[in-house]
Structure formats: structure tokens, C-alpha cells
Amino acid sequence: MKRLWAAAALLLAALTLCIFGARYTRQASGAIQETLLQAEEAGRAEDGPAAVRLAEQAAAQWEEYGRVLRTYTPHSRLEGLEQSLAALLPLAENGAFSDYSTECVRARTQFAMLLEMDLPFWENIL
């Protein structure tokens, strides 16, 4: 009987961690995608100071959320995100607004894919 209770406790712990991970990924993805959307708009408007500020804000958000995401998300999934976010600030500082906007779109797409990969769909489980 003790094994059954132990198994139930482990199942409950696993489900709790999965729910926490999905909620945290959704929160992180939503916050950074919103910043990247604003950054993309600033890049299309060729607003240099706003583009730099938003690139720095996205990098700061990534540092905040990335610490936790790295604990349960494979690093191979996060590598492209980090590269896209790292490219934003130099592009904004050099005035390459077309490339900056394109990189914002790429990063937003990668965050949307990250969120989709972490959701408990049958395709992700099997």
C-alpha cells in the first residue's frame, strides 16, 4: 500500500511540475513576444532610440526568464532564441532596421514554437 501512495505522490509531483513549466513558459513567451512586437514596430518606423531600448528590454527579459526556462527546456531549443536576441542590439545600434525587424519576427516565431513544443499535445508526448 505504501508503494501505491508513493507512486501517487510522484505522479502528483510530476503533474505539478509540468503545469508549472507550461504556465511559466506561456508567461515568459508572452512577455518577450510583446516586447519583440513593439521592437519590430520601432524597427519598421526606423526609431533608433526606441529600437535600442526595446532590444535591451528583450535581452533583460530573456535573462530573467531564461534562468528558469533553462532548467527544464533542452538547450538546443533555446540556442536559436539566444542568437536572435543577441543580434538585436547590434542591428539597432548600427541602424540596420530592416534586418532588425526581420530578426524580431524570427525571434517571435521561435518563442511561439517554444510555447507550442512545451504544451502537452500527443505529438509532443509521443
Give me the count of residues in the chain.
126
Q: Helix %, strand %, coil % for the chain, to 5?
A: 90, 0, 10
* Residues 81, 76: Cα–Cα separation, whole Å: 10
Name the one residue in this structure whose C-alpha cell is 502537452: 120
pTM over 0.85: no
- Name the CATH superfamily for 15-119: IL-4 antagonist (De novo design) like domain (1.20.120.660)
Q: What 8-state DSSP symbol labels residue 119?
A: S
Q: Tell me: the pLDDT tens digits for 94-120?
A: 989 999 999 999 999 999 888 777 666
* Residues 109, 17: Cα–Cα separation, whole Å: 25
pLDDT for the residue 115: 79
The cell for 110 is 521561435
Where are the chain's structural domains?
15-119
Q: Tell me: the pLDDT tens digits for 18-76?
A: 888 888 989 999 999 999 999 999 999 999 999 999 999 999 999 999 899 888 888 88
